[in-house]
Structure 1
Amino acid sequence: MRSFLFAALSVAAGIWAAPAAAGDAPKPKLVVAVSVDQFSADLFGQYRRHFTGGLARLANGVVYSSGYQSHAATETCPGHATILTGVRPARSGIIANNWFDLRAARADKNIYCAEDERVPGTSSEKYEVSTVHLKVPTLGDHMKRADPRSRVAAVAGKDRTAVMMGGHDVDQRWWWSGSAFTGPGTSPAAARANHRVAEALARAQDPLPLPAPCVARRRAVAIDGGDRQVGAGQFGRAAGNVKVFRASPELDQATLDLASGLRREMRLGEGEASDLLIVGLAATDYVGHTFGNQGSEMCLHLLALDQALGEFFQELDRTGLDYLVMLTADHGGQDIPERNREHGITEAARVDPSLSFETVGKRLKEKFRLKSSPLHGELASGDMYVDPTLKPRLRRKVIAEAVRIYRAHRDVAAVLTADEIAAAPQPVGPPDRWTLMDRAKASFDRERSGDFLVMLRPRIVAYLDTKNYLASHGSPWDYDRRVPILFWRKGMAPFDQMLAVETVDIMPTLAVLLKLPIPPGTIDGRCLDLDEGPESSCR
């Protein structure tokens, strides 16, 4: 699990072939779609000069430095649902990681994006993984409908990543379930990968050596309200510590190991039709939540990921396959407020506990003399739901009072009601110029969204519990919305495009390269021209 960290990457001879016009290229035999969870455009730009492996290769391809998860709900599930569907959350139905259905038959009204709540005896925490909530097809679904010989495999560190990127019709789907990779069916490659993971977990992991670029990042920062410190970690762990394994380079290495094994087992890219291999790398998200993104932990992790991706691509090179890589992220993230304040961002803070939906719900209960709290939500921000069984006139008063409470608080940037969002026009133009209403509209589904949406001010962390997650994402601000979008293929002429584009543009771009027709009016994205000259790859 450590050898990949600091081995020099030897670029295979012939990789950097003479550039060819993208529009003249034949269909790639294999598309590798990679999502690095919480890999913001800021982090890509910050570490780009230090990459020497797989991320360096992609940085020498076609680079869109200002890709946008353009919607407001910058969470894992909606973000991954944009990448290979070409649609925003308002159309996919995946508005958040979780939403509430207060009329659901089961006691647990919290609905997880990748579950089927209709299965008896399940809950949002103990569920059956399902694609039932994804309202649209993915790239893989389109590929298999156009040519049933196409094969699709998805491997990810989270079930929701494998579901939302893989889609409804996959041949193999595997995700990290807490101590091993799991999925429907069987696979010798998955069995071997899990055996290697079990062997690694059985051994203690010494702290990893700190690369030179990370030395200046190694500084302990105390977390408010406790004796915990982060910022100087190097991923040492005791034998069997799955939690540390998950929030470290080890998880991504294991995910790439399984992805390589599945490609060999399924002979992806070697058949008559084009195939799709989806890889969801989750550790960056866990590192960011657990330690923030400006300490030694994130630095060490990203350089390790760079080397692991380099080895993964080298194995693909040895097959001689014509493959295309696309890499992006489901969202970005912000650093811990304690370190942000040290860096001069004086407004950075954790949200006022009085804004939790439990506290506000208690105030509403007391004011209107209700038997129970009428307010449901997850954090102090995002979609808020009001009891639908209240009499209409009373319910309107409760919503109005809740909106007043949130709007009056200094930590809140905006509160938008469902009626206001529903009446707004669809967003148009570059996503970096969208208003908060535009961003909310892109996330709005009348069936699933709340009665009102709370947006916190920039640099306010929504999490109150500092025992687990110290930093957050999910805001409508650009540090959470802006992600890199990278394309690489042997012979592709490299260039950087700085204009703002959307992650929903990825699917139509890949569809054109695969010569795959997409019905007009069914997606929100557009094809991105990957030819740096006067020709267009979108024709």
Structure 2
Amino acid sequence: MFKKVLAALIFTTSMPVLAQQTAKPVAAAPAPRLIVAIAVDQFSADLFSEYRPYYTGGLKRLMQGAVFPKGYQSHAATETCPGHSTILTGSRPSRTGIIANSWFDLKADRADKVIYCAEDEKQPGTSNNNYVVSPIHLRVPTLGDRMKAANPATRVVSVAGKDRAAVMMGGAKADHVWWMGSKGFVSYAGVPVPPLVEQVNAAYMQRIAQGNPAFELPEQCVAKDFPVSIGKDKTVGTGRFERAPGMAGGFRISPELDAMTLAFAAAAIKSMALGQQGQTDVIAIGLSATDYIGHSYGTEGTESCIQVDRLDRELGAFFDRLDSDGIDYAVVLTADHGGHDLPERHQLNAMPEEQRVDPALAPKALNRSVAASTGINGKTLIHGDGPAGDLYFDLSLTPAERAKVETATLALLRAHRQVEVVFTKAQIAATPSPSGPPESWSLLQEARASFDPERSGDLLLLLKPRVMPIATAFSGFVATHGSPWDMDRRVPILFWRKGMRPFEQPLGVETADILPTLAALIDLPVPKDEIDGRCLDLIAGEGDSCAGK
């Protein structure tokens, strides 16, 4: 599919670039000319490992590099925006400021009080559902930002299926930031659409018009081909992503999205001659289809199995394209978080204790219970966006009311059979930033890694493992992530460059380690007190790629 989409694009038109300046002298150990940073949304370490014997394309190539199968998005809030904020900043959400996909600002001058991680809420007429995309909430520089500060000739491009993926990896100074909209790839308000993007979007509309026949079922997916009921007249588990001509709805929730994103990335590399000038350039690529499919169908049916197979193939075609252009590139591939399959399939497959969350833990229901317990009626007492995560006490409460509400809320939650723990803001704030192996952290330390004193809630509610925080499955949302448990924290971290000696390190590392590791490859100084990660030595055996960095 990648090659078909790529063939539809014309590479003689180009995206605008900055005027070239004299590059820095080449070091004795040549730096790669292009860094390719790939985030596969919801590509858990479990999902990566499950299909390792079947990789034949891009993922097989990456396994011939430095393989860290036990990488960690080490924080508790394992959501898309926080996860992407760690990948190219070297920092955890407590430093990036991206504590969740959305948070509450009860002082905000707008009705909904909910702030989306990649919006500028100060723009007139915006809301959480109708926002102007912006990187203003990201408090730290990305790798691309640091590279441009060191050498303005550096080109930085970020393309993704989701706006928050493109923004959080691209940073504040990227030359191009593009994500998939309803009619093709779009960028920040007011950014002109270059001819290349027009061509990519024309290819997208052509794909929609053609439809998509059902994908073949790979041999490794045959055993997964059985229906799982998730409600009245609704099943998942046997899909093939067939899409009728003219029907755009299924494109995003299919392998087609990643193929289009990779084709766009390849076209941008070609048209801008990324990696073919004197300096090192960087392109960040956010592949979002695995996440959309995981939410819509779960992680263990034919849908997810086909997606991983297609991902491997599309990545292989993408790397082949870079090889054919003779680019000296280094790759890192990881994920923004893991994921968990739907309880109904787990129950069929030897896990009867799997369950969906009690609706009584949803914020509206919790408000009713706390109001009945405290006798404080006529106002919203607690704000939250789901049955787990941050909870905020309303600002209209008097000190005495707030104390009553906090006591009642803690009592209700801590007595609930599905609640693992509830931390107060004071508890988390008093905890030092964690250090050491991420697999050994306590839940409180994980919570601290996600904590921002301005944006985090008054309470943090964490559910027990094997409780799906979706009370009732519905079309497009049958399973999710976001927990502090390893199923959501563990992600693969893979580094590859032509000619490197392969090795595998099974001990835990963090996605925050990616930036200092890449910075060392290009001799980019990064003060250690500005990041949370550490450089990972990518030289197997003797030698150290981090030496003196």
Query: TM over 0.5, yes or no?
Result: yes
Contact 1:179 1:242 in 2 (8 A): no
Query: How is 1:515-530 mapped onto 2 (pairs within 5 angstroms)?
Result: 515-530=523-538
Letter in 2 for 1:317: D
After TM superposition, give the deviation of residue 4 of structure 1 in Å.
Answer: 7.6
2:531 matches 1:513:
no
Letter in 1 for 2:227: A
Aligned equivalent of 2:10: none
Query: How is 1:278-293 mapped onto 2 (pairs within 5 angstroms)?
Result: 278-293=284-299
SS of equivalent residue, structure 1 residue 244: coil
Following the alignment from structure 1 to structure 2, what is the Cα–Cα distance between the partners of residues 204 and 212? 24
1:119-140, Cα deviation, whole Å (9 max, x unpaired): 1100011100001100000000
After TM superposition, give the deviation of residue 520 of structure 1 in Å.
Answer: 3.1
After TM superposition, give the deviation of residue 389 of structure 1 in Å.
Answer: 2.0
Aligned equivalent of 1:12: none
Following the alignment from structure 2 to structure 1, what is the Cα–Cα distance between the partners of residues 86 and 192? 27
After TM superposition, give the deviation of residue 465 of structure 1 in Å.
Answer: 4.3
Following the alignment from structure 1 to structure 2, what is the Cα–Cα distance between the partners of residues 290 and 362? 30
After TM superposition, give the deviation of residue 189 of structure 1 in Å.
Answer: 2.0
| 1:60 equivalent among 40, 64, 87 | 64
Unpaired segments ≥5 residues, structure 2: 6-26
2:302 matches 1:305:
no
Contact 1:337 1:461 in 2 (8 A): yes
Following the alignment from structure 1 to structure 2, what is the Cα–Cα distance between the partners of residues 118 and 76? 23
Following the alignment from structure 2 to structure 1, what is the Cα–Cα distance between the partners of residues 295 and 111? 30
Aligned equivalent of 2:492: 484
Aligned equivalent of 2:151: 147
More divergent stretch after superposition (396-405 vs 62-71)? 396-405
2:513 matches 1:500:
no
Aligned equivalent of 1:237: 243
Aligned equivalent of 1:322: 328
Contact 2:62 2:494 in 1 (8 A): yes
Following the alignment from structure 1 to structure 2, what is the Cα–Cα distance between the partners of residues 450 and 108? 16
After TM superposition, give the deviation of residue 535 of structure 1 in Å.
Answer: 1.0
After TM superposition, give the deviation of residue 429 of structure 1 in Å.
Answer: 1.2
Aligned equivalent of 1:336: 342
Q: Percent identity?
A: 52
Following the alignment from structure 1 to structure 2, what is the Cα–Cα distance between the partners of residues 538 and 153? 26
Following the alignment from structure 1 to structure 2, what is the Cα–Cα distance between the partners of residues 102 and 227? 41
Following the alignment from structure 1 to structure 2, what is the Cα–Cα distance between the partners of residues 308 and 128? 31
Query: How is 1:24-35 mapped onto 2 (pairs within 5 angstroms)?
Result: 25-35=29-39
Aligned residues: 521
Contact 1:68 1:503 in 2 (8 A): yes
Aligned equivalent of 1:415: 422
2:295 matches 1:251:
no
Contact 1:415 1:452 in 2 (8 A): yes
Following the alignment from structure 1 to structure 2, what is the Cα–Cα distance between the partners of residues 353 and 226? 19
Contact 1:4 1:308 in 2 (8 A): no
**Which 4+ stretches in 1 moved above 6 angstroms?**
2-5
SS of equivalent residue, structure 2 residue 530: coil
After TM superposition, give the deviation of residue 2 of structure 1 in Å.
Answer: 7.9
1:244-274, Cα deviation, whole Å (9 max, x unpaired): 1111100000000110111111110111210
After TM superposition, give the deviation of residue 364 of structure 1 in Å.
Answer: 2.2
Following the alignment from structure 2 to structure 1, what is the Cα–Cα distance between the partners of residues 273 and 213? 36
| 1:431 equivalent among 427, 432, 438 | 438
Contact 1:79 1:331 in 2 (8 A): yes
2:186 matches 1:178:
no
After TM superposition, give the deviation of residue 24 of structure 1 in Å.
Answer: 7.1
Contact 2:3 2:317 in 1 (8 A): no
SS of equivalent residue, structure 2 residue 265: helix
Contact 1:364 1:373 in 2 (8 A): no
Query: How is 1:51-450 mapped onto 2 (pairs within 5 angstroms)?
Result: 51-183=55-187, 184-223=191-230, 225-366=231-372, 367-450=374-457
Aligned equivalent of 2:479: 471
After TM superposition, give the deviation of residue 370 of structure 1 in Å.
Answer: 2.4
Following the alignment from structure 1 to structure 2, what is the Cα–Cα distance between the partners of residues 464 and 238? 32
SS of equivalent residue, structure 2 residue 528: coil
Following the alignment from structure 1 to structure 2, what is the Cα–Cα distance between the partners of residues 416 and 369? 23
After TM superposition, give the deviation of residue 365 of structure 1 in Å.
Answer: 2.9
SS of equivalent residue, structure 1 residue 174: strand
Contact 1:96 1:113 in 2 (8 A): yes
- TM-score, with structure 1 as normaliser: 0.95
Following the alignment from structure 1 to structure 2, what is the Cα–Cα distance between the partners of residues 371 and 530? 60
Following the alignment from structure 2 to structure 1, what is the Cα–Cα distance between the partners of residues 343 and 183? 31
Contact 1:4 1:311 in 2 (8 A): no
Following the alignment from structure 2 to structure 1, what is the Cα–Cα distance between the partners of residues 533 and 247? 42
- TM-score, with structure 2 as normaliser: 0.93
SS of equivalent residue, structure 1 residue 243: coil
Following the alignment from structure 1 to structure 2, what is the Cα–Cα distance between the partners of residues 484 and 193? 30
SS of equivalent residue, structure 2 residue 240: coil
Contact 2:2 2:317 in 1 (8 A): no
1:438-495, Cα deviation, whole Å (9 max, x unpaired): 1000001010000000111111111234223101100000000000000110111001
After superposition, the CA RMSD in angstroms is 1.4
